[in-house]
Amino acid sequence: MNVIPRDQHCISRTHISDSALKVMSRLRGQGHQAYLVGGAVRDLLLGGHPKDFDIATDATPEEVHQLFRNSRIIGRRFRIVHVRFGREIIEVTTFRGHHDNGEADARANSGNHSRQSASGMLLRDNVYGTLEEDAVRRDLTVNALYYDAGTFEVYDHVHGLEDLEKRHICIIGDPQVRFREDPVRMLRAVRFAAKLDFGIDSDTAAAIPECAHLLRDIPAARLFDEFLKLFLSGYAAATLEQLLRHDLLQFLFPETSELLLEDEHYLALVRAAMANTDERIAQDKPVTPAFLLAALLWPVASRLASQLEARGEPPMPAMHSAAQQTIAEAVQFVSIPRRFSQPMREIWEFQLRLKKRQGKKAAELLEHRRFRAAYDFLLLREQAGEETDGLGDFWTQYQHLAPQDRHRQPERDGPRRRRRPRRRRSNKSE
């Protein structure tokens, strides 16, 4: 174990949340070990501001829970304790130990601790251990650094610091074994490579194509959680490129993944949606998974709708069934809660309604709660090179008309004929 004293690293307690310091100090006061670990140590060493603070301890979840009234034990596959301070949640994890297959399987149904599937996937991981054991059970070397807020030392058991300096994403241990235990680690590897702008170690990268198919065994609900982290953390554009480079998008959105290869407009649309989301997050504007999902699944839905129209279905019913089918297929891979699939669908259907430029109808659309998102989506399609007959410009100008002038707006007016350079979205966005 490499111990880095306080004067040889840049972590300062002042950058650590008071709540996290409180939790660690209480645990230490009770004779336990407690360290800051994971993303917080990584981001502090990189000079950034961690978004949350995870703590590792030798206290069991029950012991932790007893020490903090404001806590609860969560998880089954992986039991941890959440300690709540107002809106902030400190995640406290008990050191994980080695899991021995045979023995663990024998205990599988008796309050057991660890369980693996035939492919080597860890179904449960609740065997507790020491700090050293915990370090090698983590996913990436740069995520396995520990900070002791009592001694101010950093503990490094897996060359995490070296990889931080080399800007390297490297899985701990044998990549194939570790990806088999938990295929989501492949998505985590590309996510952190994108977020930190790090390269992926060649052995780690080489194991991805070998193990990628195992992502099919991951429950759709867990992939939805991962989807949120991949695309709503402010690095969606870079993450998309990593997913494409490592051919992993197909395990999240299989049909989209194929269509992106076939049609560069679709790729441009999805890229634009990602860039747009990152920009909004950077500006502290709200983002919704519904909009991003609308973009990611638009290639599938719009192609299906055109096929149905070609078979004689009127546009709106065609879009309606296309949306239904697209969602039904997509949720087999990444589950989409109704609170997101419903607005997503409305954004799509609105694309047809936006074609109606007549005065009264148009004025009504403007009042609709989905107008903003649908209009943004229309601009995105145009930005990706889709020909919409000047519809974006029409709506941009229409919004700026005084209400009494809106119903007078003739169906086809100036904007269509005047060829203007492509506009950026109006900055009245929010």
Enumerate binding residues for ligand ATP (CB under 6 A).
38-39, 51-52, 54, 138-139, 143-144, 182, 184-185
Q: Is the separation of the CB atoms in 263 and 296 below 8 Å?
A: no
- Least distance (Å) between residue 289 CB and ligand ATP: 16
Instruction: Check binding of 52 to Mg ion (CB under 5 A).
Output: yes
Task: Report the candidate in 218, 43, 198 with the shortest Cα–Cα distance to residue 117.
Answer: 218
Segment lying near Mg ion (by CB under 5 A), choices 49-57, 153-161, 187-195, 296-304: 49-57
CB of 53 to ligand ATP, least distance (A): 9
105 binds Mg ion per the rule CB under 5 A: no
Closest separation in Å from C-beta 54 to ligand ATP: 5
- Shortest gap between Cβ of 190 and Mg ion (angstroms)? 17
Q: Which does 185 bind (CB under 5 to 8 A by kind): Mg ion, ligand ATP, none?
A: ligand ATP
Show the 3-state SS of 355-408: CCCCHHHHHHHHHCCCHHHHHHHHHHHHHCCCCCCCHHHHHHHHHHCCHHHHCC
E strand or H helix at 68: none
Window 353 to 372, contacts with Mg ion (CB under 5 A): none
255 binds, among ligand ATP, Mg ion, none (CB under 5 to 8 A by kind): none
> How far is 358 from 141, CA to CA, in rounded Å?
60
Closer of 195 and 381 to ligand ATP (Cβ)? 195
103 and 36 Cβ atoms separated by less than 8 Å = no
CA proximity to 305, closest of 291, 289, 292, 324: 324
Q: Which residues are catalytic?
A: 52, 54, 139
Answer with the entry of Mg ion, ligand ATP, none that 160 interacts with (C-beta below 5 to 8 A by kind). none
Quick one: 80 or 363, whose CB is closer to Mg ion? Answer: 80
Stretch that binds Mg ion, among 31-39, 310-318, 350-358, 388-396 (CB under 5 A): 31-39
Q: Is 313 exposed, middle or buried (0-12, 13-18, 19+ CB in 10 A)?
A: middle
Q: CA-CA distances (angstroms) from residue 417 to 231, 378, 390, 423?
A: 38, 19, 8, 15
Among residues 251, 70, 265, 41, which one has the least CA distance to residue 135?
41
Give 387's contacts (C-beta < 8 A, 6+ positions apart).
Answer: none
Q: Name the residue nearer to Mg ion (CB basis): 36 or 354.
A: 36
CB-nearer residue toward ligand ATP: 181 or 346: 181
Q: How far apart are CA 109 and CA 49, in angstroms?
A: 42
Q: Which does 99 bind (CB under 5 to 8 A by kind): ligand ATP, Mg ion, none?
A: none
Residue 97 sits in the site that holds Mg ion (CB under 5 A): no
Q: Is residue 39 involved in binding Mg ion (CB under 5 A)? A: yes
Interface with Mg ion (CB under 5 A): 39, 52, 54
